[in-house]
Structure 1
Amino acid sequence: MSARFNAPFTALLAAALFGATTPLAKALLGTLSPFMVAGLFYLGSGVGLAITIFLRRAKLRAHERANKGQLRFRELPWLFGAIATGGVAGPALLMLGLNVTPAATSSLLLNLEGVFTALIAWIVFRENVDRQIFLGMLAIIAGGVALSWHPGSARLPLGALLVAGACACWAIDNNLTRKVSTNDAMVIACLKGLVAGSVNFVIALLLGASLPSATTLAAAMLTGFAGYGISLVLFVLALRNLGTARTGAYFSVAPLFGVTLSLILWPELPPLLFWIAAALMAFGVWLHIRERHEHPHTHDVLDHNHPHHHDEHHQHEHDFQWDGTEPHTHAHRHMPITHTHAHFPDIHHRHSH
């Protein structure tokens, strides 16, 4: 699969795994408190990824074992900020808002995450956007609204502001995570899961929740490992290769996968709005996939660490014995180069226009 389609596919797979979490949570965990659900899902994500990282490290070559997961000190504020906003503040605001907000209103408001993510990326971090990407984003968001619309049910009480605040926290999280996305995606997702899971789990216990049965506990953590853990790893990889706004747009398709799985688990004829939403989201994804952003651009000197092939952006020497295996991971420097080719606002193309 070419890079042009591989990156969007990664983002859509992340959305599918995350979207599937909602109906699975309904099927497995309907008797648990919201904070307990969030805590177990995040803990399942963190613990599952920690085990995966341990097993993976045993198979790495020596120089890659030394490079994997080595976050630089100057990157820690970005990561801590992402964890605090997306893993702690976001879920807390959502749970508080859900207690006093109708489900239909909450579903509509959750579409704000994609909007806020794109706006922060475009306005604050100056990520490039053209008309086609903007229209695609609008189509995907419109599909999300259609998917969650319940005529006559939407109103905006105080709880709605809390849900909107949760979306803003997750949007900030998405943009801050991009700042550390060159690092090991598993390590980033693992740290997020362990911290967010511990906080939500403690809150649940303080509010009087009790531990579920061993079967429910295992089901919750396995669901979290797939729907939160693996999904977040794929999301970070998409951030690395697509930029924040485009990744956020693809991820906004997640509710469509959730509704589709719900219809499979509890068969019924999909309503008209489902087909309208599917068409709008498919159109928006198509607009994004057909994007071809190409112009002369200059790469400044850049030092970072991530898995790479020796393509035109990665022509460098090695300070270790390299056996020719690609992709491989190590700290490397990019020297200045000016050229023209199609590109996304990925980790190598964060230039102004």
Structure 2
Amino acid sequence: MNLNIIYALGAAALFGASTPLAKLLGLNLSPILLAGLLYLGSGVGLTLVRLIRDRRWQPSGLTASEWPWLIGAIAFGGVLGPVALMFGLTLTFGATASLMLNLESVLTALLAWMVFKEYADRRIVAGMLAIVAGGLLLAWPQSASQTQGWIGPLAVALACACWAVDNNLTRKVSASDALFIAGIKGLVAGLVNCSLALLLGAKLPQFSVLGPTLIVGFLGYGISLVLFVLALRGLGTARTGAYFSTAPFLGAAIAIVLLGEPVTLTFWAAALLMGLGVWIHLKESHGHEHQHDALKHGHRHVHDEHHQHEHSFEWDGTEPHSHEHEHTPMRHSHAHFPDIHHRHRH
């Protein structure tokens, strides 16, 4: 299996596990404060990991042209999205909100295809539809109920749209340090949501609750987002979003194991649909003659057919390694994904 697919499914598993883990720990916090602490755990944890990895603070490595994309991703995904969701949850039943959250993967793919011109064939569309159908089935309310008007669901839909924009903007900087990207997004989102919650009267919990919450955030939001960025780098936005939309199923599976929740027919039907969608994606093989334009960027790489360049520094031959490098124009043919080196028109 392609390593980038493992990254995407790993991101989905960690994010999906965050809800049953929070339930297992018995966290009873206001929704806005809980979101803020989870993001804060992500940001603080990843920043510490990055400091340990580099043994000191290192520059982000982002170019001047990449910062606007990252700032936009943070604004939409770390600030506007969570606030819209928390507002929507106050006016929407949980089942309805869960159902509508599946809009994120659909809107992510639509933006990738229609606005950012990412290529997708019929197989990818069919796989995404199967995965989304499984998510819809899993989240479908088991008993008849009515929503509390249209404002709440509209706010949840707005949150999904914000995260769809976030996913597509993050793809623009996915070649850069994934730890930095995920860490800065977590810090900003955490500080904004925690500040908002405290202004609205929420109180910080005792450390016995605060500690586990931050740890769940580090794993379910932080490490998950690092893997998501790595998957964006190798798979493109639509495919990563499709794999990530298996998170509700993986979360439900973890809840069954950890919390002993019952296994229903709906669960197995959703598992079948999502498994079918993932299988369709795994069977994808896309190859044709294509043109690589001149490109200058920096990321971790080995000297394969796409990375034939000289070094402006003394290199000891270690691979993989990371530095800014330039790609010269090249035309060739091979199987590929819409990764950071294959963002061409068809």
> Where on the TM-score scale, by shorter chain, does this alignment land: which range?
over 0.9
Cα distance in 2 between the residues matched to 1:29 and 1:43? 19
Picking from 270, 274, 289, the partner of 2:263 is 270
Tell me if the contact between 2:27 and 2:213 (Cα under 8 Å) persists in the aligned partners.
no
For 2:265 and 2:245, how far apart are their aligned partners in 1? Answer: 20
Task: Specify the alignment match of 1:92 in structure 2.
Answer: 83
Q: Counterparts of 1:331 and 1:163 in 2: how far apart (Å)?
A: 40
Alpha-carbon distance, 1:301 to partner: 0.5
Q: 1:136-285 to 2 correspondence within 5 Å? A: 136-151=127-142, 152-153=144-145, 155=147, 157-285=150-278
Within 5 Å, give how 1:59-138 maps onto structure 2. Answer: 69-138=60-129
Q: Which moved more, 1:149-158 or 1:81-90?
A: 149-158
What letter matches 2:177 in structure 1?
D
Query: CA contact under 8 A between 1:112 and 1:167: conserved in structure 2?
Result: yes
- Partners of 1:105 and 1:153 within 8 A in 2: no
Q: TM-score, normalised by structure 2?
A: 0.97
Query: What's the CA shift for 1:154?
Result: 5.9
Q: Secondary structure at the match of 1:24?
A: helix
Give the drift of 1:268.
Answer: 3.6
Is the aligned partner of 1:338 residue 2:335? no
Partner of 1:325: 318
C-alpha root-mean-square deviation of aligned residues, in Å? 1.3
Partners of 1:334 and 1:35 in 2: CA distance:
45
| 5+ long unaligned stretches in structure 2 | none
Instruction: Show the counterpart of 2:45.
Output: 48
CA contact (8 A) 1:93 1:162 kept: yes
Specify the SS of the correspondent of 1:73. Answer: coil
User: TM-score, normalised to structure 1's length?
Assistant: 0.95
Are the equivalent residues in 2 in contact too, given 1:29–1:220 (CA < 8 A)? no
Asked if the contact 2:11/2:244 (under 8 Å) is kept, the reply is yes
Which residue type is aligned with residue 252 of structure 1?
A: S
Q: Could you tell me which of 288, 301, 305 is aligned with 1:308?
A: 301
Stretches of structure 1 that go unaligned for 5 or more consecutive residues are: 60-64
Is the counterpart of residue 32 in structure 1 residue 29 in structure 2? yes
- Structure 1 residues 4-63: Cα deviation after superposition (integer angstroms, max 9, x where no partner): 61111110000000000011122225321011111111111111011111111129xxxx
- Give me the whole-angstrom Cα distance separating, in 1, the residues matched to 2:259 and 2:233: 37
SS of the equivalent of 2:90 reads helix
Could you tell me how far apart the structure 2 residues matched to 1:270 and 1:157 are?
32
SS in 2 for 1:349: coil
C-alpha contact (below 8 Å) 1:104/1:154 kept by paired residues: no
In structure 1, give the amino acid aligned to 2:322. T
Structure 1 vs Structure 2: percent identity of aligned residues?
60
8 Å contact 2:95–2:140 — kept in the other structure?
Answer: yes
What is the CA–CA distance in structure 1 between the aligned matches of 2:225 and 2:127, rounded to whole Å? 23
The alpha carbon displacement at 1:227 in A equals 0.5
**Counterpart contact for 1:243–1:345, Cα < 8 Å:** yes
